[in-house]
Amino acid sequence: MTVRRSFPLPTRRFPPRWIVPSVDRRYPFTRDRRALISLGFLTLVVLGTVFASWLSPYSPIAVDPAHQFAPPSLAHPFGTDLFGRDVLSRVLHAGRVSLTTGVAAVLIACIPGTVLGLLAGYFAHTVDAVIMRFTDMMLSFPGILLALSIVAMLGPGLSNAILAVGISGIPSYTRLVRGNVLVLRRVLFVRAARAVGASDWRVIRRHILPNILGSLVVFVTVDVAWAILNASSLSFLGLGVQQPTPEWGAMLSEGRGYLYQAPWTTLAPGLVLMLILLSINMLGDSLRDALDPRTRSRQGG
């Protein structure tokens, strides 16, 4: 008597070593108009800041009292400020400071936050309790308030502002990574790797970390905008970049007292800052849709 099997035999003895998130082929990133426009604008801004020394018509710190509050013209496309400094030149050079501050602060937040999240999510119990109670304590303060407290202790300055913004962002990465690790550590291929004798560090490095890169990349992209905004806020309050170094937040603070007399002194840096933040957020949304098609399906995309 022949017995027929009512279920298919497995084709693999063990699950794959890891499953790296990839871009959904049905939703190619290059076909997203929002992403292309945002990426193109960000590329232009980065190139403008890199070559600011060649593109800016004047020195960003050169004072010219004879041309104080000169309106926009061919000589000064964005006008001049209180000290006769060319606003266009200052906006271009300010991009170097603001963009570098945002990227550096995100690196300071991402690396330790990712490590703490991996340890808390994988080892759990005592390690998880200690790390998460410290994280909850930091999250009890708003991000900008925590950054203000750190700068107040360290003193004003660009390096202290970067450090303050970076430290205030660590808890967000810790919670994000921990949540993903808590899900992955129960997945079959992670349990199989541990069953065949793989060490904890090998499981984290080869199986868990590659699978959280998708959500981590999206969060890092959006977090750059948050870091730039917070660093600009500190400079606006006089706790970040100090005079005469140009920075978008500091330029907004300088021109706020002359909104009626010379609105171009705040319009140019404010508009550039707004477009930068909008482009980064739109790029982050597009990356999320490309790396996580389940999110797009829930949104009806």
Alpha helices in 169-247 (DSSP H): 170-184, 188-195, 200-203, 209-236
Our CA angle for 255, 257, 258, nearest 5°, is: 70
- Note whether residue 221 is domain-resident: yes
Q: How far apart are CA 32 and CA 50, in angstroms?
A: 27
Asked whether residue 244 carries a pLDDT value surpassing 90, the answer given is: no
On whether the CB atoms of residues 58 and 86 are closer than 8 A, the answer is: yes
The whole-number pLDDT of residue 185 equals 87
User: How far apart, in Å, are the Cα atoms of 165 and each of 96, 184, 221, 237, 269?
Assistant: 17, 30, 15, 14, 21
| Residues 188-223: tens digit of each pLDDT | 888 888 888 888 888 888 889 988 988 898 899 999
Going by C-alpha positions, the residue among 300, 280, 288 that lies closest to residue 21 is 288
Tokens 């205030």, located at residue: 168
What pTM did the predictor assign? 0.83
Confidence of residue 143 (pLDDT cuts 50, 70, 90): confident
pLDDT class of 1 with cuts at 50, 70, 90: very low
Is 123 part of a structural domain of the chain?
yes
In contact, 105 and 173? CB cutoff 8 Å = no
Number of domains in the chain: 1
> Is position 276 within any domain?
yes
Mean of the per-residue pLDDT values for the chain? 85
Residue % of the chain over a pLDDT of 90: 52
Residue 224 lies in a domain: yes
Q: Is the pLDDT of residue 8 over 80?
A: no
Q: Is the pLDDT of residue 266 over 90?
A: yes
Whether residue 257 is contained in a domain is answered as yes
Q: What is the mean pLDDT of residues 172-192?
A: 90
Instruction: For residue 121, give both structure tokens.
Output: 């999510």
For residue 250, give its domain range: 30-42+71-292
Residue 259 forms part of a structural domain: yes
Q: pLDDT at position 28, please?
A: 57
Interval 72-94: pLDDT, tens: 999 899 999 999 999 999 999 99
* 11 inside domain: no
Of 148, 118, 149, 117, nearest to 134 (Cα)? 117
Q: Domain for residue 51, yes or no?
A: no
> What was the pLDDT predicted at 21?
46
Q: What is the pLDDT of residues 109-130, one digit of tens each?
A: 999 999 999 999 998 788 999 9
CATH number at residue 117: 1.10.3720.10
